[in-house]
A and B are shown apart, each in its own frame.
Chain A
Amino acid sequence: MQATNGLTLLINGLTLALALSFLFILLWHDVRKEITQFFAVFLALVLLWNLGSFLAQAVILIGVEGSAARFPLIMLEFGFTGSSIALYALVASLVKMYSRRFRILLLAALVILFTYRVAIFAAGAPDPFVIDADGSLFLQTRTPLLLFYLLFDGAALYLLWRYQRKIRLRVLKFGLLLFIIGQSIGFLNPELDTFLISTVIGALATLVISVGILQQEIFRPLAERKSQVEAIRNVIASIASQNAVDSILEQLVRQSAELLEADGAAIFLLEDDGLSLKTTYELINDRLGSRLPLGEGVAGTAVQTGKLIQLDDYARDWKGSHEFAYASEFFGAVMCAPLVAGGDPVGALMVVASRHGRLFDREDAYLLQLLAAQAAVAIIQSRLFAGQTELNVQIEQSRNQLETVLVSTDSPVIAIDREFNLIFANPAAAALVGAQTVDPNAPIADLLPASAFPNNLRKALREIRKRRSFTYEAELGDKIYLCHVAGLGRPKMQGWVAVLNDITQLKELDRLKSEMVRMTSHDLKNPLQAAMANVDLLHEDIYETGSEDVRQSLDTIDRQLQRMNRIIRGILDLERLRDGALALELCAPVRIIEDAVHEIREFAREQSVVLDYVADDDLPLILCDVQQFERAIINLIENAIKFTPAGGSVKVAAERDNGEIVFSVSDTGVGIAAELHERIFDRFYRGKQRGVEHVSGSGLGLSLVKAIVINHRGRIALESEIGVGTRFTIYVPCA
């Protein structure tokens, strides 16, 4: 009997020493980990229990009496009960069920237990463990002990059953169960011998638990890390080896499911503010490609919040809408990580365990996020690749289109670089040069004659810099081209491109038109001269003697002939202006006004309009074609007089405004409606305005004025108010 006891104690000692060494390994691995701490407390209490048991045996052997004999028994009891509590705490920690208050409760339980023991000791109440006369150890008062045992071991057992899925190691489950069974054996027989078996089983169970925890905390993660690394390597390799996003995603979803020992997995991608199910693994994918609004479902929520969602029981924990119709029925644990690339969400990766499948822990979440990051990279990369490919295709297409356009156009197109060497010439341009193909990089000056370039190259280049384009007429062979030149490249100019339009025919047509206008006008002038001369003769013959009707008819014929004359003269004036040569000379503004007023004064008097002018003698000179400029001012005055009722006034003025001379002609006439302001400068346009139908004119006067002003690099403006008057203003630069 004694020998047995001794052997038992030896085994216990060795077992616990082993467990203790495991504890040290665990503590060394990570002392801050809660489970390690709980396990340490648990192990300490089991040690206390065994130490108490050992000392009690020693007391029996030595036969010590009194309170010294009583101490080991108290130790035994405290260790036994305490390990129950610690076991519960350990299980709770293993299934991750504790909260912050849990520690306090646990501490309180230990304090109560300790206080209770102290109270029993102080009151001299009988101990639960006693040594009888035979020298045997007895468990005397069982009730409080049993209560503690039932309470904590029962709770631990409940947790084990309730969260059995959370403890994945069988050895750990077995050790915990063994410990509870071991403790319960202690209650079967009050005799200490039986209790010793309980101690032995307890010690063995502790060893098993320590092995389990060691495995769970150290070996398994190590093994998992290895397989994770391998899986990540596979994923990366597949991403690198494939460019089609679909096959990468398929690979990813399969790897994720396998690696996380999940029963299914799915990838959602963000498309136009909605999530679309792209690929699934071992899931019924009847919703493939369907659109899920952002913020709905587990994936939608994960994408919107940008956070990982981890559910232990989908049906119980998920209150939102469902991606999969059957999810509530079949899904157990679910994890969903958003796919984020460059700060923007691109989709979600979801892994699912069936209702009876595993639960996902923190390690799994970490792994899922790792996979999600890889997936995001893969998606972005493949999208970039696709975008790049598409861009290349587009560039190629537009290049082809452009080339086709340039090649097929009849207009020569020539591009040159900053050194005036040829970059490009289309076939039309090559034909112009007189070659089948043109050698790029040839100096343009060698290819084209001087007549092809602007007269003032410096000015042309300055113009292009300022306005981005320049247009000039170039003569090449027997053809005339209108050449548009624009800068190439922005912001730094890399060269120029010129498009040449053959305007030979247009020029010829224009010349013919001018010729025809001249001829027609001339041909009209002779009959007009004949008619006028005869009217004059008739006038002399019968005006005085004729009846009122005759006089009226003569006057009418005369007026109409004069009108015809004005029209013809207007057309010819415009034609002459279009020829453009100005006889420029320096001239004082006041002289122009004086001469103009002098010319038209008689007409003003006839119309009973007061004609007045103001101008300083010392105004700066202007450079102008006096003849033409006077014509412009006269036309304006004539116009003003025509549209001013008798008794009104017309005022002509010239003044200086910065670098310009401002000529103005204002009247107190009928005014010009705002909608006509733009059109009255058009050729042959005659304002159809109420009340001025009687006014005659060719409709050319103002267009002539405008043409003259533009020829003088000036501009013309108009202000008018119906019934109040009109003011025409001409601005020309000072000489």
Chain B
Amino acid sequence: MKVMIVDDEAAIREALGRKLLRDGFEVVLCKDGLEGLRSFHAERPDLVILDIVMPEGMDGLTVCRRIREIADTPIMMLSANAITEEDIIDGLNAGADEYLTKPVRLNEFVARVQALLRRSSMTNIETEQRYDDGYLSVDLHRRHVHVNGKKVHLTPTEFKLLAVLLENSGRVVNQRDLLEHVWGREYIDDVYYPRVYISQLRRKIERDPANPLYILTEHRIGYRFEKQTHSTQRLM
């Protein structure tokens, strides 16, 4: 597995790289956004780790957007800058799958990297392969999502989240199950994640993210995917 780390701080870049190398990953280190993009094309890594604030040239968010234009490669944001939820959402909007705030311990870092890789490589989607109500159509097998006829890019995490909810449509999936199935066992205490990603997902597939029809919240329990018929959509 090849992991690319883009961070302007050499000390961080190198320490993270050393740890990943030690744990058997291939590592590509880049000192700024431009170099990162170039390396992405050249090296085709399986995972990208992006710092957001980089003084020269492109910042992490831009790099993330550029990568998303051409690939679904999982991207992990690693930022010292996140203060509010908005900061994190900005990162996710740019297409990141995961948002870690500095400082992070190396063991946790590696666990997250492994979980993210595992998530993106999961292709064995068992039950229903397709969903289409005229407005929203999802092809789980080919990983295609269309909203109102237009193709929508979902990050691996978003897609995985949608898939899990769709598989259990009509039933409530509680937070823990969601965390375990989408992110992995390591994330079971990160109750924060589903909330951020659900709202991100809603923005992409719901007509009115403030009044969702597909993904409904069961307070303090979890989320539920509600299938819509074509007529309900029309009536709306």
- Footprint of B on A, CB under 8 Å? 518, 522-523, 525-530, 532-534, 536-537, 540, 561, 565, 572, 575-576, 579, 583, 585-588, 591, 595, 598-599, 626-627
Most buried by A among B12, B16, B81: B12
Contact residues in A for B9 (Cβ distance below 8 Å): 526, 529-530
Contact residues in B for A527 (Cβ distance below 8 Å): 11
| A595 lies within 8 A of B191 (CB) | yes
- Complex Cα distance A586/B19, Å? 43
| A534 lies within 8 A of B15 (CB) | yes
What's the nearest-Cβ distance from chain B to residue A339, in Å? 81
| B83 lies within 8 A of A627 (CB) | no
Which residues of B, 55-84, contact A by the 8 Å Cβ criterion? 80-81, 83-84
What's the nearest-Cβ distance from chain A to residue B104, in Å? 7
| A533 lies within 8 A of B15 (CB) | yes
Can you list 6 A-B contacts (CB < 8 A)? Answer: A518-B81, A518-B83, A525-B101, A533-B19, A585-B219, A591-B220
Contact residues in A for B149 (Cβ distance below 8 Å): none
Assign chain B's interface to a size class.
Answer: 20 to 34
Residue of B18, B103, B192 near A525 (CB, 8 A) is: B103
| A534 lies within 8 A of B11 (CB) | yes
| B12 lies within 8 A of A572 (CB) | no
| A627 lies within 8 A of B192 (CB) | yes
- Complex Cα distance A661/B22, Å? 51
| A572 lies within 8 A of B83 (CB) | yes
Which residues of B, 72-108, contact A by the 8 Å Cβ criterion? 80-81, 83-85, 101-107
**Nearest opposing residue in chain B for A599, CB measure:** B189
Residue B34 interfacial (CB < 8 Å): no
What's the nearest-Cβ distance from chain A to residue B50, in Å? 14
Supposing A522-B53, A587-B220 touch, asked if A530 and B80 sit within 8 A by C-beta, the answer is no
- Complex Cα distance A447/B49, Å? 57
| B80 lies within 8 A of A526 (CB) | yes
Most buried by B among A523, A529, A532: A529
What's the nearest-Cβ distance from chain A to residue B212, in Å? 15
| A575 lies within 8 A of B12 (CB) | no
What are the nearest 6 A-B pairs in CB distance? A533-B15, A525-B80, A530-B11, A536-B106, A529-B103, A529-B102
What's the nearest-Cβ distance from chain B to residue A625, in Å? 10
| A533 lies within 8 A of B12 (CB) | yes
Contact residues in A for B19 (Cβ distance below 8 Å): 533, 536-537
Contact residues in A for B105 (Cβ distance below 8 Å): 532, 536
**Nearest opposing residue in chain B for A588, CB measure:** B220
| B15 lies within 8 A of A530 (CB) | yes
Residue of A526, A583, A591, A627 near B102 (CB, 8 A) is: A526
**Nearest opposing residue in chain B for A540, CB measure:** B22
Supposing A522-B53, A522-B80 touch, asked if A529 and B104 sit within 8 A by C-beta, the answer is yes
**Nearest opposing residue in chain B for A598, CB measure:** B189
What's the nearest-Cβ distance from chain A to residue B188, in Å? 10
- Complex Cα distance A249/B15, Å? 105
**Nearest opposing residue in chain B for A591, CB measure:** B220
- Complex Cα distance A480/B104, Å? 41
Residue of A526, A536, A598, A626 near B107 (CB, 8 A) is: A536
- Complex Cα distance A579/B9, Å? 30
| B103 lies within 8 A of A576 (CB) | no
| B102 lies within 8 A of A528 (CB) | yes
Contact with A along B111-130 (1 / 0, CB 8 A): 00000000000000000000
Taking A525-B80, A536-B15, A537-B18 as known contacts, 10 extra A-B pairs with beta carbons closer than 8 A to each other, sorted by chain A number, are: A522-B81, A525-B103, A528-B103, A529-B102, A532-B105, A533-B12, A572-B83, A576-B83, A586-B219, A588-B220
What's the nearest-Cβ distance from chain A to residue B99, in Å? 14
Contact residues in A for B53 (Cβ distance below 8 Å): 522
Interface of A is mostly: helix
| A533 lies within 8 A of B84 (CB) | no
**Nearest opposing residue in chain B for A561, CB measure:** B103
What's the nearest-Cβ distance from chain B to residue A514, in Å? 10
What's the nearest-Cβ distance from chain A to residue B110, in Å? 10
Contact residues in A for B15 (Cβ distance below 8 Å): 530, 533-534, 536-537
| A575 lies within 8 A of B83 (CB) | yes
- Complex Cα distance A518/B102, Å? 14
| B80 lies within 8 A of A529 (CB) | yes
- Complex Cα distance A561/B102, Å? 12
- Complex Cα distance A585/B107, Å? 34
- Complex Cα distance A583/B199, Å? 13
Which residues of B, 206-222, contact A by the 8 Å Cβ criterion? 219-220
- Complex Cα distance A536/B18, Å? 11
- Complex Cα distance A561/B84, Å? 23
Contact residues in B for A599 (Cβ distance below 8 Å): 189
Most buried by B among A530, A537, A583: A530
| A583 lies within 8 A of B85 (CB) | yes
Contact residues in B for A583 (Cβ distance below 8 Å): 85
- Complex Cα distance A627/B9, Å? 31
What's the nearest-Cβ distance from chain B to residue A500, in Å? 31
- Complex Cα distance A107/B189, Å? 127
- Complex Cα distance A540/B21, Å? 13
**Nearest opposing residue in chain B for A627, CB measure:** B192
Most buried by A among B84, B107, B220: B220
What's the nearest-Cβ distance from chain B to residue A351, in Å? 94
Supposing A533-B19, A540-B22, A583-B85 touch, asked if A565 and B103 sit within 8 A by C-beta, the answer is yes
Contact residues in B for A530 (Cβ distance below 8 Å): 9, 11-12, 15
**Nearest opposing residue in chain B for A524, CB measure:** B80
- Complex Cα distance A576/B102, Å? 17
Contact residues in B for A540 (Cβ distance below 8 Å): 22
| A533 lies within 8 A of B220 (CB) | no
**Nearest opposing residue in chain A for B22, CB measure:** A540
**Nearest opposing residue in chain A for B107, CB measure:** A536
Supposing A532-B105, A576-B83, A599-B189 touch, asked if A526 and B12 sit within 8 A by C-beta, the answer is yes
**Nearest opposing residue in chain A for B104, CB measure:** A529
- Complex Cα distance A530/B85, Å? 24
- Complex Cα distance A595/B220, Å? 11
Contact residues in B for A518 (Cβ distance below 8 Å): 81, 83
**Nearest opposing residue in chain A for B109, CB measure:** A533
Contact residues in B for A598 (Cβ distance below 8 Å): 189
Contact with A along B1-35 (1 / 0, CB 8 A): 00000000101100110110010000000000000
Contact residues in A for B107 (Cβ distance below 8 Å): 536
- Complex Cα distance A322/B157, Å? 112
| B12 lies within 8 A of A529 (CB) | yes
What's the nearest-Cβ distance from chain B to residue A528, in Å? 5
- Complex Cα distance A561/B104, Å? 12
| A587 lies within 8 A of B219 (CB) | yes
| B84 lies within 8 A of A579 (CB) | yes
What's the nearest-Cβ distance from chain A to residue B171, in Å? 21
Contact residues in B for A572 (Cβ distance below 8 Å): 83
What's the nearest-Cβ distance from chain A to residue B77, in Å? 13
- Complex Cα distance A533/B7, Å? 14
Contact with A along B213-236 (1 / 0, CB 8 A): 000000110000000000000000
**Nearest opposing residue in chain B for A626, CB measure:** B220
- Complex Cα distance A600/B61, Å? 34
What's the nearest-Cβ distance from chain A to residue B115, in Å? 18
What's the nearest-Cβ distance from chain A to residue B6, in Å? 14
Supposing A522-B53, A526-B12 touch, asked if A537 and B106 sit within 8 A by C-beta, the answer is yes
**Nearest opposing residue in chain A for B192, CB measure:** A627
Contact residues in A for B102 (Cβ distance below 8 Å): 525-526, 528-529
- Complex Cα distance A627/B103, Å? 20
- Complex Cα distance A523/B81, Å? 9
**Nearest opposing residue in chain B for A536, CB measure:** B106
Contact residues in B for A565 (Cβ distance below 8 Å): 103
Contact residues in B for A587 (Cβ distance below 8 Å): 219-220
**Nearest opposing residue in chain A for B16, CB measure:** A533
What's the nearest-Cβ distance from chain A to residue B190, in Å? 11
What's the nearest-Cβ distance from chain A to residue B218, in Å? 12
- Complex Cα distance A586/B219, Å? 7
Contact residues in B for A534 (Cβ distance below 8 Å): 11, 15
Residue of A522, A533, A561 near B106 (CB, 8 A) is: A533
What's the nearest-Cβ distance from chain A to residue B34, in Å? 20
- Complex Cα distance A536/B84, Å? 28
